[in-house]
Amino acid sequence: MPVFTLGIEEEFQTIDPVTRELRSHMSKIVEGGQIQLQERVKAEMHQAVVEVGTNICTNIHEAREEVTYLRRMIFELAEKQNLKIAAAGTHPISDWQDQLITDNERYDKLIDEMRDVARSNLIFGLHVHVGIENRNEGLHIMNAVRYFLPHIYALSTNSPFWCGRNTGFKSYRSKVFDKFPRTGIPDYFSSAAEYDDYINLLVKTNCIDNGKKIWWDIRLHPFFDTIEFRICDVPMRVDETICLAAVMQALVAKIHKLHKQNLNFRPYRRLLINENKWRAARYGIEGKLIDFGKQEEVPYHTLAQELLDFIDDVVDDLGSRKDVEYVKTILEMGTGADRQLAVFRQTNDLKRVVDYIVEETSHGL
């Protein structure tokens, strides 16, 4: 089996410990962090967002060490600025209109083009890169893995609140991001050449200046030999992040294995996969997704077990069985959204929800 390397990026909220609102002081954390972390800590468009990314990891155990270390360092840097760090797909209270934008030519151009669509994009995600042998193999894998994106997404749901409101969604983050162009589930592509032709056409016609402005839920990275999963809310716990990354890596490995055995996973149309994505955003793990092979609704817990069974024959080779099986823990304790909502039902206080998110973000550090 090839080494399906991992790279994990997490976007965090910078929180005022008194008001529990977002505070636009990310630059202080980034400036302090770059001495120790170099390129592993980055600014984002909104000054209340700080992003960290691991080095290239050869297995899930290295990835856990990196994610844990980076979270610990960001917490320490934030403490020096009298700030807290929180991991959730949206902030329960703060309004995007109150947030400052990072002074950067790239972000200036984005806002000039997209206006309030860009300004209001105050969301926090998890991006996972899985290394691939080449772009053609990666394209084949991407086509097949699209089917499982709603299954993964449901496990990550962690953004039920927006601007002080209970949205009724387990992940409202995706609804905010849907306003951007070139988002969501990608189409089926017959080859990497067809995929690259599409990107080149957009560049030629001044729709984009490079492939990084393809913001799909999964994409071939334009510069690296990786498949990048972009659909997930950033989870609260390290254990959840590592579980999701391990499942993504195992899916890539399993589709690759089938391909090498001259077997294919049946591709499904984007229109059908989108039905499951909407259900995952709305109901998380508490709802039903559609099994398009059986053409019937199936409880999410049943589909989650089927997913674990599907990847079972590759997780030992990857050394990720324990991390993959943390899916069962998420099903038992609920996703981040489920737990946020439980705190809100108990307290009727969104500030207490923020406190809970901050506490959970440091869990296991």
pLDDT in tens, 69-125: 999 999 999 999 999 999 999 999 999 999 999 888 888 999 999 999 999 999 999
Of the pLDDT bands very low, low, confident and very high (cuts 50, 70, 90), residue 31 is: confident
The CATH number of residue 350's host domain is 3.30.590.20
pLDDT digits (tens, 9 = 90+) for 70-79: 999 999 999 9
* pLDDT at position 34 over 80: no
* pLDDT at position 59 over 80: yes
Report d(CA 164, CA 161) in Å as an integer: 6
> What pTM was computed for the model?
0.96
Q: Which of 216, 191, 197 is nearest to 273 (CA)?
A: 216
Q: What is the pLDDT of residue 209?
A: 93
Query: H/E/C letters for each residue in 175-239?
Result: HHHCCCCCEECCCCCCCHHHHHHHHHHHHHCCCCCCHHHCEECEEECCCCCEEEEEEEECCCCHH
Q: Is residue 1 part of a domain?
A: no
Report d(CA 270, CA 37) in Å as an integer: 39
* pLDDT at position 215 over 70: yes
Task: Pick the more confident residue, 20 or 32.
Answer: 20
Q: Is residue 312 part of a domain?
A: yes
| Total domains, the chain | 1
pLDDT digits (tens, 9 = 90+) for 155-178: 999 999 999 999 999 999 999 999
Q: Is residue 301 part of a domain?
A: yes
Report d(CA 318, CA 184) in Å as an integer: 29
Range of the domain at 187: 6-361
Task: Annotate 281-297 with b (16+ C-beta within 10 A) or e (fewer).
Answer: bbbbbbbbbbeeeeeee
pLDDT digits (tens, 9 = 90+) for 169-214: 999 999 999 999 999 999 999 999 999 999 999 999 999 999 999 9
Rg (CA), the chain: 19
* pLDDT at position 1 over 80: no
Which amino acid type is present at position 152?
A: I
Which amino acid type is present at position 146?
A: R
Q: What is the pLDDT of residue 23?
A: 92
Which amino acid type is present at position 89?
A: G
Structure tokens at 193: 């050449």
Helix axes 238-260, 149-156, angle to 10 degrees: 170
* pLDDT at position 39 over 80: no
Between β-strands 161-162 and 49-53, what pairing exists: parallel, antiparallel or unpaired?
Answer: unpaired
Q: Is residue 285 part of a domain?
A: yes
Of the pLDDT bands very low, low, confident and very high (cuts 50, 70, 90), residue 33 is: confident
